[in-house]
Amino acid sequence: MDWIRNRLTQFAERTAFYSGDSALSYASLTQRIDSLIDYLQTDLGTGNQVIAVEEANPADNLAAVIALSSLGKTILPISPQSPEKEKQYRIGRVEWTLHNRKLRRKTASAEPHPLLNKLGQSGHPGLILFSSGSTGSPKAMLHDLKLLLDRYESLAARSDRTLQLLPLDHIGGLDAALRTLCSGSAIVIPEARTPESAGHAIAKHQVSVLPASPTFLNLMLLTGVAHSSDLSSLRVIAYGAEPMPFSLLQKLKAAFPEVDLQQKFGTSETGAIRIKSAGSGKLNFSIKDRDADWKIVDGELWLQSSSRILGYLNSDADNSSLLLDGWFRTGDLIEEDKDGSLRIIGRRADLINVGGEKVAPIEVESILMEMPAIADCLVYAEENAITGQIVVAQIVPQGEYETVQLKRAIKKHCRKRLATYKIPARIQITEKTKYSDRLKKLRSQ
């Protein structure tokens, strides 16, 4: 993995990180990596141990990932404040922790997993990531980190500035950070992952690239940050992590007319997949990745990727499915247009079954958000004795409203735009919808 360090030294005079009033150069970042390598290899020695990286500072976090990958170790990025920390230690067979640049020994709670043994025999570094657990218990995914990192080696040099919103224990956050560093660009760290802090950081450091989830982008509209902050430096908004409602995309296009709205796609199991959006105001895209193959089976996107995970450390049943002919079932439901382009219509796990008819929540949300009286909404399933499930909509109103009249207006609007079984059977008025620490909507109520 020496190519990464060599790449970083080429950008020695550039700034790698901006945070508040502080800046860190690529030269200083490289020195930090070299110091960590010297420090870590003294205690760690040889072999592929599992090290939990708990650095709160993103620069320290990434320096640790690069240093440990150079030493051939397996890395588990973890939030120091995570309530699941001990559980993640146990599942990941953690042997050491790195916090505040200090290495501490921790006795692994179980024998190494066969997948970890297999990775150790390859001599490659590893990466363990946990799924969000939004549709069940979180899964511990083991990546061959060399295969993930190799995808960044051919990146061309750039000179932009990217706002880092997603945490580094998530594939989207890691991809955004590594893609930025390996191209010699700058990472801007906001004081907090809020629309207000994001707007301040964009204006202060002239951020040109904003990777964010549709949920976070809508929060920027709702809080007025999109109009009250100076966001004129933005050139690209890259959205992903969850489906984008078409009506929200149109609002974003109107709010940011000079910005290129680019859809991104990837999964924790396969890493980021290169795609090409059909246009700034369109949801269709084409997969343009020489390292990935795809097919659609029963409306679901299946992927084969050179950077696919080796397997799950805590789900043998899913390993059997994952390893079937090398294809990964993404869980994303896809429509393919006549021109061959694709469009995500939702997650299979989120489908609502109304008397045998399937409803994709994102379709209903997009129709609801066409209404000027609705600022935000969340659609999900609720059990029902007659139909099995019903469609429920949480509504965040825009401006003054009268509850009964608003609900009547929603029903009237939906009757014009949706089949009867897709119309929300229950409407709940709320001040805000729920979203996860990964800035995605939470449909499990």
Radius of gyration of the chain (CA): 23
Query: CB within 8 A of 294, min separation 6: which ones?
Result: 287, 301, 302, 303, 304
* Cα-based distances in Å from 355 to 352, 390, 392, 436: 9, 9, 15, 30
Give pLDDT, residue 328: 86
The 10s digit of each residue's pLDDT in 292-332 is 899 999 999 999 888 888 888 987 656 656 555 778 888 89
**423 confidence band (pLDDT: 50, 70, 90):** very high
Least confident residue range of 21-35, 206-220, 263-277, 352-366: 263-277
Least confident residue range of 130-144, 258-272, 395-409: 130-144
Cα–Cα distance between 350 and 298 in angstroms, integer? 16
Are the beta carbons of 262 and 238 closer than 8 angstroms? yes
Give pLDDT, residue 231: 95
Residue 199 has pLDDT above 90, yes or no: yes
Are the beta carbons of 186 and 15 closer than 8 angstroms? yes
For 351-429, CATH number out of 3.30.300.30, 3.90.105.10, 3.40.30.10, 3.40.630.10 equals 3.30.300.30
**407 confidence band (pLDDT: 50, 70, 90):** very high
- As its CATH architecture, domain 269-347 has Roll (2.30)
The 10s digit of each residue's pLDDT in 332-365 is 999 988 888 899 988 888 999 999 999 999 999 9
Provide the total of helices (H) and of strands (E) in the chain, helices listed first. Answer: 14, 27
Average of per-residue pLDDT across 224-245: 91
Give pLDDT, residue 236: 95
433/190: higher pLDDT: 190
DSSP for residue 243:
P
The 10s digit of each residue's pLDDT in 54-109 is 998 999 999 999 999 999 999 999 987 778 888 888 888 999 999 998 999 987 76
Least confident residue range of 41-50, 102-111, 279-288: 102-111
Give pLDDT, residue 377: 93
Q: Where are the domains of the chain?
A: 2-150, 269-347, 351-429
The top-level CATH class assigned to 2-150 is alpha beta
pTM (two decimals): 0.88
Least confident residue range of 7-21, 24-38, 299-313: 299-313
Spell 199-208 as b/e; 16+ CB within 10 A means b: bbbbebbbbb
What percent of the chain lies above the pLDDT cut of 90? 61
**Whole-number average pLDDT of the chain:** 90
Nearest of 253, 302, 311 to residue 277 by alpha carbon: 253
Give pLDDT, residue 326: 76
Residue 136 has pLDDT above 70, yes or no: no
**290 confidence band (pLDDT: 50, 70, 90):** confident
* Cα-based distances in Å from 82 to 94, 130, 192: 15, 12, 17
Cα–Cα distance between 110 and 188 in angstroms, integer? 39
